[in-house]
């Protein structure tokens, strides 16, 4: 069983005064360092270089092999000195200000394979960065390395998987709904993915390993860009331009300022300024987003969900920033809080955007319904009856099954209107429509052709079946009065029934049924007149 113990202490250089290993060792010897229990260290943006001493004791009688995690991936210069008991010193260097070395493992940090000699030895780490210096020191056995790397890879896989799914989902919503919100939101999620792969070193390792300068400024620029995209999404989601035009202008100004400052810092290669701008702009922007949400609570539906979502990401971001800056003790959860926050934010926002989809869809269905149905009777209107009936007729012609059509017209309906008033006439029409709907089958089509003329298409019925059906309908109407203002009002109707024959078109079929209806009226009303097309033509 290999056992070893180690102790960590650290000190910081004076600003702009790099010291050598010898000087640093002397300072440690003089007791100028601070101890660390956990070995998890973090220092803020623009911190002077940090020296860490790790005193190791290997009590066994053989070398111990370990992987030492020294820092996160974005530390600019990371030197690891190993001092043996005999005074022999080895130095290995990495960091993202150099072309990528094999020690920089994306998603993990800067790691070194080390051998711990028998007895006592020392490691000294010198870390320097304009960005926050975060040193989560950890010795892993070579077996644990595999487990740890697999779980870290899996967590990033899940994070990017969920975010990419939400991104795609919003792009699809945008395609069908054509609302800018969705596309802004998709770009906002996309920028977080780029930002996260940037600061975790994936892009540096896989895309531009030989351009450390790009690595140094890229992430900082993406931090500002991500903030700007969050603001643009907020402006669009909350419709700030319409609700609070002054606020809209102020946010535009703030966006312009952010872009300008990071561009100036980048072009002049002022790394420290760029880091300060990026970290403060990102933090401030989440506060601006929450404030915008709060200002629109009473103006925009779902604004409270928006506030909840962006607060989650704000809280996560603050926790990560404060952990990186050494303001709160380093924990892995605290360090990854921004990722949890963004996940929560993405899910809540995806939910509220999908509610918008539901609202829009039900409005579309309503409009579709209004375009197809008669509002008084809920029967098909003339246009939709024609289009559906024509399709059915073509289908039945192809299949060779019979099909019939009935035209009905209420008897003396003018008298109903005159005697009881137009309102009661309307009630009568609704009453008739109810009877029709209760007596027809799923495949039958019933349309109101304006006024009190109603047309019924009966697929699969020949003239005889259709006439029997119509006769039953006539009787049912005759026998069923409707109540209005304490009165029982009786309604009757006359009908013309025709069966489709040969190559008749729908309007010809209606015309023939109308002729029969006219006969029914002429013969005394409240009756059904029917014939096949050939009989009618011969008549
Ligand atoms: N209340 C109401 N009346 C309507 C509506 N559409 C048409 N009408 C009335 O229906 C009546 C139709 O009258 P006519 O076509 O002359 O025929 P009728 O009185 O029904 O007599 P016959 O058809 O010959 O039996 C007119 O008085 C129209 O004003 C409606 O939506 N509501």
Residues 302-327: pLDDT tens digits?
899 999 999 998 899 888 888 887 78
Tell me, in angstroms, the distance from the centre of ligand 1 to residue 451's CA.
6
Please give the ipTM for the structure prediction: 0.95
Closest-CA residue, ligand 1 atom 27, reads 414
> If we measure between CA atoms, which residue out of 19, 91, 6 comes closest to residue 53?
6
Q: Rounded CA gap, 86 and 105, in Å? A: 31
Tell me, in angstroms, the distance from the centre of ligand 1 to residue 409's CA.
9
Q: Rounded CA gap, 515 and 494, in Å? A: 12
pLDDT at 236 over 80: yes
The one-character DSSP state at 208 is: -
DSSP-assigned states of every residue in 244-296: -HHHHHHHHHHHHHHHHHHHHHHHTT-HHHHHHHHHHHHHHHHHHHHHHHHHT
Share of the chain above pLDDT 70, in %: 98
Residues 43-87: pLDDT tens digits?
988 899 999 999 999 999 999 999 999 999 999 999 999 998 888
3-class secondary structure, 464: helix
> If we measure between CA atoms, which residue out of 386, 384, 404 comes closest to residue 444?
404
Tell me, in angstroms, the distance from the centre of ligand 1 to residue 434's CA.
18
Tell me, in angstroms, the distance from the centre of ligand 1 to residue 374's CA.
16
Average model confidence (pLDDT) for the chain? 91
List residues near ligand 1 (CB under 6 A).
376, 409-414, 417, 422, 425-426, 429, 451-452, 521, 525
Tell me, in angstroms, the distance from the centre of ligand 1 to residue 519's CA.
18
pLDDT at 534 over 50: no
Is the pTM higher than 0.90? Answer: no
pLDDT at 1 over 80: no
- Ligand 1 atom with minimal separation from the 423 CA: 1
Closest-CA residue, ligand 1 atom 26, reads 414
Q: How far apart are the first and last CA of the chain?
A: 110
Residues 117-134: pLDDT tens digits?
999 999 999 999 988 999
Across 76-80, 99-103, 209-213, 334-338, which has the greatest mean pLDDT?
76-80
Q: How confident is the model at residue 2 (pLDDT cuts 50, 70, 90)?
A: low
- Ligand 1 atom with minimal separation from the 428 CA: 1
- Ligand 1 atom with minimal separation from the 422 CA: 1
pLDDT at 13 over 50: yes
Residues 402-426: pLDDT tens digits?
999 999 999 999 999 999 899 999 9
Tell me, in angstroms, the distance from the centre of ligand 1 to residue 477's CA.
17
Residues 265-305: pLDDT tens digits?
999 999 999 999 998 999 899 999 999 999 999 999 889 99
């Amino acid at each position: 069983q290999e056992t070893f113990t180690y102790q960590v202490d650290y000190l910081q250089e004076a600003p702009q005064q790099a010291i050598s290993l010898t000087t640093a060792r002397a300072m440690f010897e003089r007791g100028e360092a601070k101890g660390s229990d956990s070995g998890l260290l973090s220092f803020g943006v623009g911190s002077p270089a940090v020296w860490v001493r790790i005193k190791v004791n290997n009590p066994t009688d053989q070398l111990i092999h370990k992987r030492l995690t020294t820092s996160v991936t974005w530390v600019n210069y990371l030197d690891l000195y190993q001092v043996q008991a005999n005074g022999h010193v080895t130095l290995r260097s990495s960091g993202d200000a150099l072309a990528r070395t094999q020690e920089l493992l994306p998603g993990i940090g800067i790691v070194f394979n080390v051998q711990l000699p028998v007895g006592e030895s020392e490691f000294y780490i010198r870390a320097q960065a304009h960005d926050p210096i975060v040193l989560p020191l950890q010795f892993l056995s070579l077996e644990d390395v595999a487990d740890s790397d697999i779980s870290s890879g899996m967590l990033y896989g899940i994070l990017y998987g969920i975010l990419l799914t939400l991104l795609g989902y919003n792009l699809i919503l945008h395609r069908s709904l054509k609302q800018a919100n969705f596309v802004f939101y998709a770009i906002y999620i996309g920028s977080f993915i780029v930002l996260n792969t940037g600061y975790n070193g994936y892009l540096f390792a896989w895309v531009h390993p030989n351009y450390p300068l790009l690595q140094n400024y890229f992430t900082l620029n993406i931090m500002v860009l991500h903030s700007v995209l969050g603001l643009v999404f907020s402006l669009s989601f909350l419709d700030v331009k319409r609700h609070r035009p002054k606020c809209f202008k102020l946010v535009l100004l703030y966006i312009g300022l952010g872009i300008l400052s990071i561009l100036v810092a980048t072009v002049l290669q002022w790394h420290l300024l760029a880091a300060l701008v990026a970290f403060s702009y990102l933090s401030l922007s989440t506060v601006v987003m929450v404030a915008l949400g709060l200002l629109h609570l009473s103006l925009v539906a779902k604004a409270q969900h928006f506030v909840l979502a962006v607060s989650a990401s704000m809280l996560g971001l603050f926790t990560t920033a404060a952990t990186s800056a050494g303001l709160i003790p380093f924990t892995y959860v605290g360090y990854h809080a921004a990722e949890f926050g963004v996940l929560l934010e993405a899910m809540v926002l995806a939910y509220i955007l999908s509610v918008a989809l539901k609202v829009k869809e039900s409005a579309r269905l309503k409009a579709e319904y209004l375009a197809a149905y008669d509002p008084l009777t809920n029967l098909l209107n003339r246009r939709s009856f024609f289009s559906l009936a024509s399709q059915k007729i073509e289908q039945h012609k192809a299949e060779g099954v019979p099909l019939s059509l009935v035209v009905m017209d209420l008897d003396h309906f003018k008298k109903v209107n005159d005697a009881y008033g137009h309102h009661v006439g309307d009630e009568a029409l609704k009453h008739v429509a109810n009877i029709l709907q209760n007596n027809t089958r799923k495949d039958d089509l019933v349309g109101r052709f304006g006024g009190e003329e109603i047309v019924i298409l009966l697929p699969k019925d020949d003239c005889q079946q259709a006439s029997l059906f119509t006769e039953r309908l006539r009787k049912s109407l005759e026998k069923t009065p409707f109540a209005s203002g304490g009165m029982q009002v009786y309604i009757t109707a006359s009908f013309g029934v025709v069966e489709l024959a040969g190559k008749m078109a729908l309007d010809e079929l209606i015309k023939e049924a109308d002729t029969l209806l006219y006969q029914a009226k002429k013969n005394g009303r409240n009756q059904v007149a029917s014939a096949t097309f050939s009989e009618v033509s011969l008549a």
